[in-house]
Structures are given as structure tokens and as C-alpha cells.
Amino acid sequence: MTTLTTVPPTTSAAPLAEPPAHFRDLLASEWIKIRSLRSTPWTLALTTLFVIGSAAVAALAENNTLKKMSPAARTDQGFMVFDAFPPAGYMTLMLVAGSIGALTVVSEYSSGLIRTTTMAVPARGTVVLAKTVVTAALWTAVGTVISTGGFLVSQAILNTNHAGVPLTHPGVFRALAASALLAPVCALIGLGFGALIRHSAATVVTSVFTLLMLPPIFSQSAHWSAAVSHAMPVTAWKRLVQNWPPDPHSLAYSATVPGSWTVYALWPLIAVVLAVTAVRHRDV
Amino acid sequence: MIEVNELTKRYGGKTAVDQLSFAVRPGQVTGFLGPNGAGKTTTLRIILGLDAPTGGTATVSGVPFRSHSRGLRHVGALLDAGQVHGGRSAVAHLSAIARSNGIPLRRVDNVLQEVGLADVATRRIGGFSLGMKQRLGIATALLGDPPVLMFDEPVNGMDPEGVLWMRRLFRRLAAEGRTVFLSSHLMSEMENTADQLVVVGRGRLIAAESVRDFAARSTRLSVVVSTPRTAELAAVLTAAGASVEVEGAPDADKLAVTGLPADRIGALAFDNRILLNELTTRTASLEEAFMELTADSVEYLAGQPR
């Protein structure tokens, strides 16, 4: 049996002058991947319309209630946050952002494109980081449009009853920021699950279960259970949007504002660290 | 230059590649042959850094491929034409890949032109035939103008015109001094394309040599003789130490003779006044040599319990 391992190295054509590897090239590449899918603009447009629409519907319903109130009671309502940021709309946003975030990774595994990508860029961890940055940037932009749009539309509707508040109202900015950032937080959590699970259906189910189904299981009345609930992104979002302090006489445990921001930071951070680690160590 | 040294890959209890060593040199087309399940794709995946070997090393131009931060200028490869996202157009797919390596986008147009997909560049890949996807995969491999090219079963799904085009492309790439490594389970394809062969079976090396040397390994070198007096000639040749079989249909008057060269057979026939209508030395086809050498290592054999 012949082996040819001892052949002297022949003049193998050296690769042509290779430009330095820039991270921004990977960002551009991932951005091309996202925008070249026809489903991307449709999904983003429909989600934006739905969430803003849900704020409009909530504000219109509120208007009907307000009409039955005395004019004095009407002006006393302050900032009606859950008209501007209706949970039903934002849970839908979480669902879509989590799923699309997951698909940015999983669609590469299910199609096999990940092998083509990895042959082009053997530095796999860097690819995950580029996906992270592009996903975070895209969903922060979409989230900002949605939260600002929903706020402005709902307040314009409430203003017909003189019940709207301006952007400068106390607590509005935090609510806007928390609502805008909810989308990238969920998208990155989905991305992390995608890199760990690598299977489309399983990833989407896991993301949706973790983000939306799991939190209501934990009540606010027992300490440990409340602690778990407060560690969930959806609970953190509700606490950050809410502009009144928790009732000190309530028997329920209440999440804190700094704690909720920490939850916002830690979930995506852990998701991305796990994703990079898994992708670097597993066979593609 | 691709060098594989003592490469081993085990998945659970199954050994896909077993202490495999070979080298693929530049300036030639090297065929990577083996029956299905012989470990060809696994070996290619390890060379490309997609899978980590259980043992041994694989290097391209002296370094492990995974040590590069960008790969297209070092190795161009087509593993599976299906490894694309069907929702993108050919041009978007290639642009994303080119951009990741800082390759200018005009190169995308060049390679699309080269593989003959310029007219369908903006169509969704999902609607492509397998042959078109193979061309797209080759376009991807060519993007970085790399010195080493690897293709896994590239002719699958190609029409005859496409197969010819591809063969010429591989020969040209090799003539340009590049290392061209092609896997296939079809020997006949290699016969027309490759200079060198690396043959594997069940993850082990069976042969690494030139196509000609490989064909000569076959024990089936034979001479075909046609004569109206087959029985007489068979008796003469057998007496001279050859082994004789009836060739083709029993009434075709042809014999396949092994163990005697053609000139000796001609002389014996002449001495015995036997008329010969045909006397042909038949070199075994590559296919036969391949079947013979890999017979013991076929992984999935139809109709036989193992």
C-alpha cells in the first residue's frame, strides 16, 4: 500500500495577496443574507403594523371608557402605559423577534448553508458575533419604530379625549426604551437557542415556550417563584414599562427596575456566549 | 497541496476514516474514489475544518484550513450543491459569501458568467435544477481564485454538455497549477478526468497512484481471440499454460485468454494452422480494476446479508 506523505513540497501556487480580514465584511455579508430573503421585509412590516395597530385598538377602547367618566376624572388618569404598549401586541413582537432571531442561525443549519458559510469563514465564532450584531441592530431599529409609533398613535387617539401624554411625561422614555429593546433581547435569545439546538421546529418551540409560556407558570406570591418570574424578559419588560412604584402593601413580590435592566442584559449575553462556544466546539 | 496524515474519524462506535494518509499535489487532477460510505465526504469535511478529526492531521498548503480567518482565497470547495438557501437569488447568495471575504462584487458576475448562470442570476435558487445548483456551487468555489479546489461528486445531476464543460474546467484549473481534488464513486468519470487517484474503502487507503498504474493492477488483463475453431484453439492455449474462457455469446466464436501475451497466442495459432479473425489485447478498464480492488470493502451491498 502506497502512501504519498513523503513527497517533497511542490511549488503550490500561494494565495494571492490577501486583504486583512475585517469584521465589517462579515457584518455586510450577514446583512445581505437578511435583506435578500423576501420574507424579511414582509415579516417586519406586518409585525410593525400589528403592534402599532394593537396600541391603536387599546387606545380606542380606552376612549370609550373615558367618555363615561366625568371630565375631572378623565384628566386624572396620567400615562396609560398599557394603551401605548399593549401586552398582546408586545407578546406577538416577542414571538416574531424570537423566531426570526432563531431562524437567522437555524435556517443555515437546516439548508446546509452553514457549511458553505464556514468554508468561506473558518472563524466560526466571529460569524456568530456578526449575526448577533446585525440581528441586534435590525431589531433595535424595528423595536424603536414600533414603540415610538405605538406610543404616538395611542396618545393621538387618547388626545381626542384630552387623556394623552407627551413624550416628555415622566416614565415615558423608560417605557419607550424598554419596549424598543424587548425585540433585540428576544431575537438574540432566539439566536442563541438556534445555535444550540440547530433544528428549526425544536428551536422555535423552545424559544416561544421560554419567552412566553414559561413566565406565567411562576406566581408572584412565593419568593422563589417570584424570583424566577422576575428573571424572565417579559416580566422585566412589564416592570420597566410600568411607571408607578409597586404597592408597598401588596403581598406579592415585585421586580425592581435595576434588576429588570439586568435581566435585559444577561439573557442575550448568556445566549450569545453559549452560541459562540457551541459553534466553535461542534462539528458543522 | 493537500496532505492527510494518519487521519481517523470515529462517530460513536463507527469508524468512518481509519488512519488515512495521502497527499494531493498541485498541477494535476486527483480523483478521490471509493464506494458509498467509504469515508470520502468525511475526509473532505475534515480537510475543510468542518469536522474535527478523532486523530491525525489534515493540512492545506501546510496549515490546517481552520487556522485561516477567511477561507475562499485558500480553498474553494463544493461539498453538496444543496448547501444554499433556496429563498435567495444566485447573485445574492454569491454576494453574501464574496462580501464575507472582502472579495469585490464584480467577481460575482465573473464567476456567474464562467459557470453559465448569468442569465438566471436573479432567480431564486430554490427553483434551480440539481445541475444548476452544481454550477452555482462551482461558482462559489471559484470566487476566491484559490490555489486548491475540492469538489464532492460534482457531476451528479449534470447533463452531458455540463459534464464535458466540467471536465474541461477541472483540466484547465489543474493546468493553471492548482490542486484539484474530485471525489466520485464512479470510476468511469475519473478515467476521463483524473491524472492521479486516491482510492479508499471503508475509511482505509486502498491505492494512491496514477490512473494508469491503477488500471494495470487489475489481474484481468486479457487477450480476446476470435476464430471459427474455438475448441481447437482453446485446447492448444490451455496446453501452453493459459486459462481460456468463452467470451460473449457461446456462438460468437470468441475466447478471452489470460496468462499468454498476444504475440505468443498468434504464434501458437499459426503453428497449428488455426485461422484467427481477431486478436486484441484488452487492458482492463479502470472500472474493473476499481470493482476488483474495492470488492472487499463495499459498505452497502445489495441483496447480501452481512
CATH code of the domain in which B96 resides? 3.40.50.300
Amino acid at A167: L
pLDDT of residue B294: 77
Select from B31, B60, B227 the least CA-distant residue to B144. B60
Closest approach of A15 to chain B, Cα-based (Å)? 6
Q: How many domains does chain B have?
A: 2
pLDDT of residue A72: 67
Nearest to A25 among B65, B66, B100 (CB): B100
How many H-runs (helices) and E-runs (strands) does chain A carry?
12, 0
**Residues with Cβ within 8 Å of residue B114, at least 6 apart in sequence:** B139, B142
Q: Which of B173, B192, B212 is the last residue of a domain?
A: B212
Same domain, B105 and B179: yes
From the CB of residue A133, how many other CB atoms can be counted at a distance below 10 Å? 17
Whether residue A12 lies inside any domain: the answer is no
Same domain, B253 and B180: no
Nearest to B48 among A39, A111, A119 (CB): A119
pLDDT bin (cut points 50, 70, 90) of residue A2 is very low
Least confident of A34-43, B101-110, B186-195: B186-195
pLDDT bin (cut points 50, 70, 90) of residue B99 is very high
pLDDT of residue B246: 86
* Structural domain boundaries, residue A34: 24-281
Kindly tell me if the per-residue pLDDT of A235 is higher than 60.
yes
- All three cell numbers of A168, joined, read 416628555
Select from B305, B303, B2 the least CA-distant residue to B149. B2
- All three cell numbers of A277, joined, read 462556544
Q: How far apart are CA A258 and CA A264, in angstroms?
A: 10
Q: How many domains does chain A have?
A: 1
Same domain, B268 and B186: no
Sign of the alpha-carbon torsion through A99, A101, A107, A112: negative
Q: How far apart are CA B94 and CA B121, in angstroms?
A: 10
Kindly tell me if the per-residue pLDDT of A6 is higher than 50.
no
User: pLDDT: is A7 or B230 the higher one?
Assistant: B230
Q: How many inter-chain contacts (A to B, CB under 8 Å) are there?
A: 157
Find cell 477567511 and name the residue: B70
User: Considering only CB atoms, which chain A residues are within 8 Å of B144?
Assistant: 15
pLDDT of residue A17: 64
Same domain, B196 and B248: no
Closest approach of B116 to chain A, Cα-based (Å)? 20
Average pLDDT over residues A191-197: 97
Kindly tell me if the per-residue pLDDT of A73 is higher than 90.
no
pLDDT tens readout for residues B121-147: 999 999 999 999 999 999 999 999 999
User: Considering only CB atoms, which chain A residues are within 8 Å of B88?
Assistant: 33, 36-37
Closest approach of B301 to chain A, Cα-based (Å)? 24
Kindly tell me if the per-residue pLDDT of A16 is higher than 90.
no
Is A26 within 8 Å of B100 when comparing Cβ atoms? yes
Q: What do you get for the CA distance between the two ends of chain A, in Å? A: 32
Same domain, B142 and B10: yes
Same domain, B208 and B233: no
User: Considering only CB atoms, which chain B residues are within 8 Å of A5?
Assistant: 3, 5, 21-23
User: Considering only CB atoms, which chain B residues are within 8 Å of A116?
Assistant: 83-84, 97, 140
- Report chain A's mean pLDDT, rounded to a whole number: 89
Nearest to A122 among B69, B176, B205 (CB): B69
Q: How far apart are CA B172 and CA B192, in angstroms?
A: 14
Whether residue B180 lies inside any domain: the answer is yes
Chain A: residue whose CA lies nearest to B61? A12
Whether residue B217 lies inside any domain: the answer is no
How many residues can be counted in chain A?
A: 284
Whether residue A232 lies inside any domain: the answer is yes
pLDDT of residue A170: 87
pLDDT of residue A10: 39
Q: How far apart are CA A235 and CA A262, in angstroms?
A: 12
From the CB of residue A126, how many other CB atoms can be counted at a distance below 10 Å? 19
* Structural domain boundaries, residue B171: 2-212
CB B47 within 8 A of CB B41: no
Same domain, B69 and B165: yes
Give the highest mean pLDDT range of A6-10, A68-72, A166-170, B185-189. Answer: A166-170
Kindly tell me if the per-residue pLDDT of A39 is higher than 50.
yes
Kindly tell me if the per-residue pLDDT of A4 is higher than 80.
no
**Residues with Cβ within 8 Å of residue B61, at least 6 apart in sequence:** A12, A14, A15, B1, B74, B147, B148
- Facing residues of B9 across strands? B17
**Ordered DSSP codes for B198-253:** EEEETTEEEEEEEHHHHHHT-TT-EEEEE-S-HHHHHHHHHHTT-EEEE-SSTTS-
Top residue of A7, A10, A119 to mutate, by most chain B CBs within 10 Å, is A119
Kindly tell me if the per-residue pLDDT of A76 is higher than 80.
no
pLDDT bin (cut points 50, 70, 90) of residue B283 is low
Q: What is the CA radius of gyration of chain A?
A: 24
- Report chain B's mean pLDDT, rounded to a whole number: 90
Select from B192, B195, B161, B191 the least CA-distant residue to B178. B195
Whether residue A13 lies inside any domain: the answer is no
pLDDT bin (cut points 50, 70, 90) of residue B92 is very high
Q: Which of B212, B230, B257 is the last residue of a domain?
A: B212
Q: How far apart are CA A144 and CA A129, in angstroms?
A: 22
Same domain, B127 and B45: yes
pLDDT tens readout for residues B1-57: 999 999 999 998 899 999 999 999 999 999 999 888 899 999 999 999 999 999 999
Whether residue B140 lies inside any domain: the answer is yes
Percentage of chain A beyond pLDDT 90 is 71
Q: How far apart are CA B243 and CA B249, in angstroms?
A: 18
User: Considering only CB atoms, which chain A residues are within 8 Å of B199?
Assistant: none
Kindly tell me if the per-residue pLDDT of B306 is higher than 90.
no
**Residues with Cβ within 8 Å of residue A274, at least 6 apart in sequence:** A192, A195, A196
User: Considering only CB atoms, which chain A residues are within 8 Å of B71?
Assistant: 119-122
pLDDT tens readout for residues B195-251: 999 999 889 999 999 987 887 776 566 788 999 998 899 999 999 888 888 887 777
Same domain, B255 and B129: no
Is B102 within 8 Å of A19 when comparing Cβ atoms? yes
Same domain, B88 and B50: yes
**Ordered DSSP codes for A210-279:** IIIISGGGS-SSSHHHHHHHHTSHHHHHHHHH--SPPPTT-SS----HHHHHHHHHHHHHHHHHHHHHHH
Whether residue B174 lies inside any domain: the answer is yes
pLDDT of residue B242: 87
pLDDT tens readout for residues A204-218: 999 999 999 999 899
pLDDT of residue B58: 97
Kindly tell me if the per-residue pLDDT of A74 is higher than 70.
no
Nearest to B147 among A13, A39, A126 (CB): A13
Amino acid at A61: A
pLDDT bin (cut points 50, 70, 90) of residue B119 is very high
pLDDT of residue B187: 78
Top residue of B84, B85, B134 to mutate, by most chain A CBs within 10 Å, is B85
Is B99 within 8 Å of A28 when comparing Cβ atoms? yes
Whether residue B59 lies inside any domain: the answer is yes
Whether residue A266 lies inside any domain: the answer is yes
Alpha helices in A160-211 (DSSP H): 172-197, 200-208
Average pLDDT over residues A124-152: 97
User: Considering only CB atoms, which chain A residues are within 8 Å of B202?
Assistant: none
